[in-house]
Amino acid sequence: MIRNIWTIARRDLRAYFTSPIAYIVIAGYMFIMGWMFANILSNFVVENARYTQFNYAKGMSIAEGVIRPLYGNMNVIFLFLVPFITMRLFAEEKKLHTIELLMTSPITLWEMIFGKFLSSMLLVATMLSLTLVYPIILYTTGNPELGPILTSYIGTFLLSGCYLALGLLFSAATENQIIAGAMTFVSGLFFWLISWATQSAGPVWGDVFMYLSLISHFNNFGQGLLNTADVFYYCSFIGIGLFLTHRVLDSFRWR
């Protein structure tokens, strides 16, 4: 079971790093992250200086002024980058006919899906671990709270998992990588913006839209709160995405 999942995950992980995909995604990600970090930090310093100058209470904490905007914006970058990570996972196997190899090997569809999900999660984990340099920089000069940093990482990881599950689903549904990528981005963006309808949709549907929104569940993580409801939501989102992926792949066998 575990061995089969790892066999699949290992190959896909290697494919990321033997092709330019991983390097381009990681480099692009780190470039944008670095740009954001530098600007958020300098804005924070300027703002704080102003606060102290005019004697406004205590000013902003690092958690409020740096951590929250930094990791909040990081999610947007993942929304853009995840389609590039997932679009090839199943679409390419279909194009190359290697799906026939996988489907006629003694592994189950679930092992295949978990393996591919794991490989993309590990790539995201690699990307996230590279950003640990920002908290380290903050610790060398200040004394930020640990809580919001930890929960931000947990939240970002889970939220990226949701995007990845969507990506896996659309990659399974087509053999065209561009379509898979575009659909992943559009659907991810939709689950992001779904909360915009909260005001106009009336009390009941408003709550439903609010609950379904991927981003509304991130707020608590950003503030250092680990809420089981949010964790449950993200995990269910991933679970449903992977389940639908399973149904889609299975349905191809019956045509």
Which residues of the shown chain bind other proteins in the complex (CB under 8 A)? 3-4, 7, 11, 14-15, 18-19, 96-108, 253-255
Q: Which is nearer to other proteins, 18 or 55 (CB)?
A: 18
Q: What is d(CA 17, CA 21) in angstroms, rounded to the nearest whole number?
A: 7
Least distance (Å) from other proteins to the CB of residue 8?
A: 8
Q: Which is nearer to other proteins, 98 or 236 (CB)?
A: 98
Q: What is d(CA 24, CA 16) in angstroms, rounded to the nearest whole number?
A: 10
Q: Which is nearer to other proteins, 106 or 203 (CB)?
A: 106
Cβ-based neighbour number of residue 28 at 10 Å: 14
Q: What is d(CA 95, CA 99) in angstroms, rounded to the nearest whole number?
A: 8
Q: Which of 6, 243, 27, 238 is nearest to 111 (CA)?
A: 6
Q: Which is nearer to other proteins, 9 or 41 (CB)?
A: 9
- Dihedral-angle region of residue 137 (phi above 0 means left; psi in -120 to 50 means alpha; beta otherwise): alpha
Q: What is d(CA 112, CA 179) in angstroms, rounded to the nearest whole number?
A: 22
Least distance (Å) from other proteins to the CB of residue 22?
A: 12
Least distance (Å) from other proteins to the CB of residue 37?
A: 33
Q: Which is nearer to other proteins, 93 or 230 (CB)?
A: 93
Least distance (Å) from other proteins to the CB of residue 255?
A: 8
DSSP-assigned letter for residue 64:
I
Least distance (Å) from other proteins to the CB of residue 218?
A: 35
Q: What is d(CA 47, CA 60) in angstroms, rounded to the nearest whole number?
A: 8
